[in-house]
């Protein structure tokens, strides 16, 4: 299940939510990453070195969890949907 859906449908947290409440309600929720691998929200939360006491919204929790996802699991590196490639940005026009 993708992360946004899992947070909104399966965790059923009321925000602001404490880290303990989120861990209790969400720790076994499985997430499928972009690269096809799976993890649980509990495993992702365990990666937090210094977790905040509370999350103010599901967006706040989502952004924190996305910062923990391994490179390659959340989409293409350096992807830009504006029609340029990473190397195009360094070109000079004369």
Cβ atoms of residues 17 and 56 within 8 Å: no
What's the longest Cα–Cα distance across the chain?
59
Does residue 7 surpass a pLDDT of 90? no
- For 34-74, how does the pLDDT look when each residue is reduced to its tens digit (9 = 90+)? 778 888 888 888 888 888 889 998 889 888 888 776 554 44
Measure the CA–CA gap between 11 and 13, rounded to whole angstroms.
Answer: 6
pLDDT band at 75 (very low <50, low <70, confident <90, very high): very low
* pLDDT score of 54: 92
Three-state DSSP class for 55? Answer: strand
* pLDDT score of 47: 84
Three-state DSSP class for 60? Answer: helix
């Amino acid at each position: 299940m993708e992360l946004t859906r899992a947070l909104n449908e399966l965790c059923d947290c009321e925000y602001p939510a404490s880290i303990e409440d989120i861990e209790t309600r969400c720790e076994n929720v499985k997430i499928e990453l972009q690269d096809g691998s799976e993890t649980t929200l509990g495993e992702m939360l365990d990666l937090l070195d210094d977790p905040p006491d509370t999350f103010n919204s599901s967006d706040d929790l989502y952004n924190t969890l996305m910062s923990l996802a391994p490179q390659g699991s959340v989409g293409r590196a350096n992807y830009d949907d504006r029609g340029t490639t990473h190397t195009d940005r360094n070109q000079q026009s004369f």
